[in-house]
């Protein structure tokens, strides 16, 4: 598969008066053409900072890309001038945000806002842009597009607004769409509609999606591959089947086990004790160690490297080291693992990539 974006060893820090907050501490991943990569993690894990860095949307100062590169179409985005970046942002890589109310201008009609995105990047006449805007509204499933063009954001419901935001993001046929919690503010039935819409459009236009969320249900629904972030690092990455049915990192175990499953009503929920580390002073060794019931001595001393599980599956935990003791994951996770072999076999011996 064709790599469309490569992120190598990205480090991002924020300089605040108390010191340096190391929000992203060495993130590496590839994005393939036409796939959906989900990035999951808790608030403060660095998932939004990573995605904003791809768009160069972080204000400098206080933020600073300390090291690493973001390769897109042969260029390193971390080194582009703001002017060059403007020809990529919104045109080749675009983004949709969590709150559809604050990402639209309340004083401009919907039509004008979509046309603005088109006229900014494409040499079209106003009339052509208007036609294109109507097409886009129809593409995202808004009826009476001609009439809706003249309306203001407050005349749209939350779900409809998010459709408009998606239409603006798609205005220039981007290669990559970054969606930062696009459905978190919506009701479940509306969320289901928006997710279906995104999958549908992806099929039609063939773009790649980076989907940032903390909702594992949404991940299972949308993703081809999943990256799990914790304390500014990717701790596990693999295909959606590998992450949900054959997870290797204790943090991924904790996330999966802390979701109530349908048939474990009377048992107590598995919960990850404690809270995430302070990235002003990241701990020595594995940042997850203090919350990890499976932590080994070495976790407090040395950060684990990425161990390879399969061609597509990597996890940063010492438990995968050949000398590590064998441990039992939580019961809910063990049950998921039982299904993995079945699923792999059914797919012809190869997990979905």
Partner 1 sequence: MAKQKLLEVKNLKQYFPAGRGEVVKAVDGVTFDIYKGETFGLVGESGCGKSTTGRTIIRLYEATDGEVLFNGVNVHGKKSKKELKELNRKMQMIFQDPYASLNPRMTVADIIAEGIDIHGLAKTKEERMQRVYELLETVGLNREHASRYPHEFSGGQRQRIGIARALAVEPEFIIADEPISALDVSIQAQVVNLLKRLQREKGLTYLFIAHDLSMVKYISDRIGVMYFGKMVELAESEELYRNPIHPYTKALLSAIPLPDPETERTRKRIMYDPAQHGYKDGEELEFREITPGHFVLCSEEEYKRYRAMYA
Footprint on this chain of partner 1 (rule: CB under 8 A): 42-43, 187-192, 195-196, 214-221, 223, 240-241, 244-245, 254-256, 258-260, 262, 265, 268-273, 275, 339, 343
Helix boundaries (H) for the chain: 47-54, 82-88, 110-121, 126-139, 145-148, 158-169, 188-205, 216-222, 240-245, 250-257, 331-346
Compare residues 111 and 250 and give the one whose CB is closer to partner 1.
250
List, in sequence order, the alpha helices (H) in 89-207: 110-121, 126-139, 145-148, 158-169, 188-205
Minimum gap (Å) between residue 22 Cβ and partner 1: 18
In the complex with partner 1, the residue whose CB is nearer, 77 or 185, is 185
Nearest alpha-carbon partner for 121 in 132, 110, 111 = 132
Residue with smaller CB distance to partner 1, 94 or 239: 239
Element (H, E) at 230: strand 225-230
Min separation Cβ 316 and partner 1, Å: 18
Nearer CB in complex with partner 1: 43/81: 43
On the CB side of 38, CA atoms within 13 Å amount to 26
| Closer to partner 1 by Cβ: residue 174 or 254 | 254
Which candidate, 212, 235, 209, places its Cα nearest to that of 316? 235
Q: Smallest distance, Å, CB 158 to partner 1?
A: 8
Query: At closest approach, how far in Å is the CB of 178 from partner 1?
Result: 20
* Minimum distance of partner 1 from residue 176's CB (angstroms): 23
Q: Please, what's the b/e burial string for 64-77 (b: 16 or more CB within 10 A of its CB; e: otherwise)?
A: ebeebbbbbeeeeb
Least separation in angstroms between residue 44's CB and partner 1 is 9
Cβ proximity to partner 1: between 154 and 265 the closer is 265
């Amino acid at each position: 598969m064709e790599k469309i974006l490569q992120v190598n060893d990205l480090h991002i820090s924020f300089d605040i008066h108390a010191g340096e907050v190391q929000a992203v501490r060495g993130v590496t991943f590839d994005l393939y053409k036409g796939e959906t990569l989900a990035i999951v993690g808790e608030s403060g894990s660095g998932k939004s900072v990573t995605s904003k860095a791809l768009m160069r949307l972080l204000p400098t100062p206080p933020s600073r890309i300390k090291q690493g590169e973001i390769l897109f179409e042969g260029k390193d985005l971390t080194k582009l001038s703001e002017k060059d970046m403007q020809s990529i942002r919104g045109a080749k890589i675009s983004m949709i945000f969590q709150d559809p109310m604050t990402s639209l201008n309340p004083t401009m009609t919907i039509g004008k806002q979509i046309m603005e995105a088109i006229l900014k990047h494409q040499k079209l006449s106003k009339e052509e842009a208007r036609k294109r805007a109507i097409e886009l509204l129809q593409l995202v499933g808004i009826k009476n597009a001609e009439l809706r063009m003249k309306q203001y954001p407050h005349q749209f419901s939350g779900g409809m607004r998010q459709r408009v935001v998606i239409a603006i993001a798609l205005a220039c046929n981007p290669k990559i769409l970054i969606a930062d919690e696009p459905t978190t503010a919506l009701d479940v039935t509306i969320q289901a509609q928006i997710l279906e819409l995104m999958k549908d459009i992806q099929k039609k236009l063939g773009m790649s999606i980076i989907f940032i969320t903390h909702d594992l249900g949404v991940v299972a629904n949308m993703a081809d591959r999943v990256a799990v972030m914790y304390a500014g690092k990717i701790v596990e990455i693999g295909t959606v089947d590998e992450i949900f049915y054959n997870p290797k990192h204790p943090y991924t175990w904790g996330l999966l086990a802390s979701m109530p499953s349908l048939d474990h009503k009377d048992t107590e929920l598995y919960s990850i004790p404690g809270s995430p580390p302070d990235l002003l002073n990241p701990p020595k060794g594995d940042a997850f160690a203090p919350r990890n019931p499976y932590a080994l001595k070495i976790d407090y001393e040395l950060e684990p490297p990425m161990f390879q599980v399969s061609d597509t599956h990597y996890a940063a935990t010492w438990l995968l080291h050949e000398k590590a003791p064998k441990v039992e994951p939580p019961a809910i996770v063990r049950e998921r693992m039982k299904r993995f072999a079945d699923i792999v076999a059914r797919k012809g011996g190869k997990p979905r990539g």
